[in-house]
Amino acid sequence: MKPILYMAPIMGVTGCIYRNTYSQFFNGYDIAVMPFINNTSKKKSLLSDVLPERNKANFELVPQILHKNPKDFIILAKNLYEMGYKTVNWNLGCPLPMIRKKKKGSGLLPYSDEIVNFLKEVIAELPNQISLKVRLGSEEKSDLANLLPMLNDFPLKEIIIHPRTGKQLYTGEVDLTAFEESLSLTNHTIVYSGDIDSLEKYKILSARFPIVNRWMLGRGGITNPFLPEQIKNIESANKDANLKRFISFHQALLYGYQKELSGQAHLIGKMKEVWRYWVKAFEGGDRLFLDISRTNNVKKYLDTIEQFFREKPSARY
């Protein structure tokens, strides 16, 4: 069975312009979960990332909501439904200390009764289907193990699991034993998310978890934008052609941001966020990142990039 691939929400990177541009140059993703939104307003400026008229990607899009107050969640989910979004994702995974402290994101995971009450109230009102994105817990990985059996009777679309605790942020290893245990505790469709950064890693995980057919790629899918095609075995070209395709993607992304952002520093700052991941695919990438970090105008930025590509850097793809 062909795997179903998800573009992970990575706040600051996988926004609308990235998704649109990516899908002009690459194939392989079936779905993208969008970085979370956290307001109840209908104001277009606050919903710009999810506005249907701005979103041109050729994969399904699922907006994500961070609210833990059912009323706010329902208002936003209904707005999104009117925009055409038949599924919304509830963020129970955000590990940021500020968010966790407010009992939001992964900070809500220890409070399984609150989660159950929330779902009862919200599901009764929602026209949309709801999926969850969770971690193993806030501080303890037992949070999810306690919660999962309580979710079995809810009509959830699916549960995306990133097998770390919130306290871990993005450090340490993913806990595959705890993930395996999670599979045995749920009757919902499970999507795996965490550290898939190569075809080999994907093969190891898919061999270990044959009942999982949905895989979310985050940082690894940004670093290597060819990864979804590699996983799906979509024809692979030679390294020269791949580098050319990557360069065209870079130019189109830069142009996309240029049209939206005002000020050179803002534009370069945005490109830096993506380069933080991209450089990991290149030999000499660290040096390039340093050079880009010292850049404060577009001319110098373009010179730096052109010089780097002129030397035909060796890439992982």
Ligand X SMILES: Cc1cc2nc3c(=O)[nH]c(=O)nc-3n(C[C@H](O)[C@H](O)[C@H](O)COP(=O)(O)O)c2cc1C
Q: Which residue, 196 or 305, has its beta carbon nearer to ligand X?
A: 196
Q: Are 115 and 123 in contact (CB under 8 A)?
A: no
Neighbours of 241 (CB within 10 A): 10
Q: What is the dihedral of CA 251, 253, 259, 260, to 10 degrees?
A: -160
**Residues 51-60: b if buried by 16+ CB within 10 A, e if exposed:** eeebbebebe
Question: Would residue 16 show up in a list of annotated catalytic residues for this protein?
Answer: no
Cβ closest to ligand X, residue 6 vs residue 246: 6
- Please, what is the minimum distance in Å from the beta carbon of residue 172 to ligand X? 12
315 strand-pairing partners: 282
Query: Residue 64, annotated ligand binder?
Result: yes
Q: Could you say whether residue 91 binds ligand X (CB under 6 A)?
A: yes
Q: Which DSSP string do the residues of 218-276 spell out, in sequence order?
A: SHHHHH-TTHHHHHTT-----HHHHHHHHHHHHHHHHHHHHHH--SHHHHHHHHHHHHH
Q: Which of 64, 87, 128, 182 binds ligand X (CB under 6 A)?
A: 64
CA distance 82 to 127: 10
Q: Is 162 annotated as a binding residue?
A: yes
Closest to ligand X by CB, 11 or 302? 11
Q: Which residue is nearest to ligand X (CB)?
A: 218
Q: Is 188 annotated as a binding residue?
A: no
User: In this complex, which beta carbon is closest to ligand X, that of residue 18 or of residue 308?
Assistant: 18
Q: Does 35 bind ligand X (CB under 6 A)?
A: yes
x/- mask, ligand X, residues 156-195, rule CB under 6 A, reads ------x-------x----------------------xxx
The smaller minimum CB distance to ligand X, of residues 172 and 284, is found at 172
DSSP H helices in 65-224: 70-82, 97-101, 112-125, 142-151, 176-184, 199-208, 219-223
> Which position among 13, 57, 77, 94 bears the catalytic label?
94
Ranges within 249-278 binding ligand X (CB under 6 A): none
- Bridge pairing between strands 190-193 and 64-65: unpaired
With CB under 6 A as the contact rule, which of the stretches 3-11, 53-61, 71-79, 176-184 interacts with ligand X? 3-11
Residue ranges that bind ligand X, judged by CB under 6 A: 8-12, 35-36, 64, 91, 93, 133, 162, 170, 193-196, 217-220
Q: Which residues are annotated as a binding site for FMN?
A: 64, 133, 162, 218-219
